[in-house]
Chain A
Amino acid sequence: MKNNLLKIFTKGLFIENPVFILMLGLCSVLAVSVSVINALGMTLAFTFVIVLSELTISLIRNWIPKTLRIPIFIVIIASFVTILQFLLQAYLPALNKSLGIFIPLIVVNCIIIGRIESFASKRPVVESILDGLGISLGYGIAIVLIAVVREILGSGSILGIQLFGSSFQPALMFILPPGAFLVIGIEIGALNAFMKKYNKKVCSR
Chain B
Amino acid sequence: MKTNPTKQIVKLGIILSIYCIVAALALSVTYSVTLPKIQEQQRLSTERSMKSVYPNASSFSVVTNENNDELFCSIEVESGVLIDSLYMANDSNSSLIGFVVKASSQGYGGLIMFVYGINPDKTIEAVSIIEQTETPGLGANVYKSSFLDQFSKKNVTDSFIVKQDVTPITASTITSKALTNGIKKSVDFLLEHHQEMTDEK
Contacts and interface: CB of A to CB of B under 8 A. Distances in A.
Nearest to B12: A68
- Measured as residues with beta carbon below 8 angstroms from the partner, the interface class of chain B is 20 to 34
A83 B136 contact: no
Interface string B15-31: 11001100100110011
A177 to B, nearest CB: 10
B16 A89 contact: no
Contacts, number: 63
For the residues of A in contact with B, the DSSP-based class is helix
A103 to B, nearest CB: 11
A158 B175 CA distance: 25
A90 B133 contact: no
B131 interface: yes
A71 B136 contact: no
B34 A65 contact: no
Interface in A52-109: 65, 67-68, 71-72, 75-76, 78-79, 82-83, 86-87, 89-91, 93, 97-98, 100-101
Given A79-B26, A154-B137, A67 B37 contact: no
A93 B137 CA distance: 19
A175 interface: yes
Interface in B1-60: 12, 15-16, 19-20, 23, 26-27, 30-31, 34, 37-38, 41, 45
Interface of A: 31-32, 34-35, 38, 65, 67-68, 71-72, 75-76, 78-79, 82-83, 86-87, 89-91, 93, 97-98, 100-101, 154-155, 172, 175-176
Given A68-B12, A90-B34, 8 more contacts: A31-B136, A35-B136, A65-B12, A72-B19, A75-B23, A154-B137, A172-B170, A175-B136
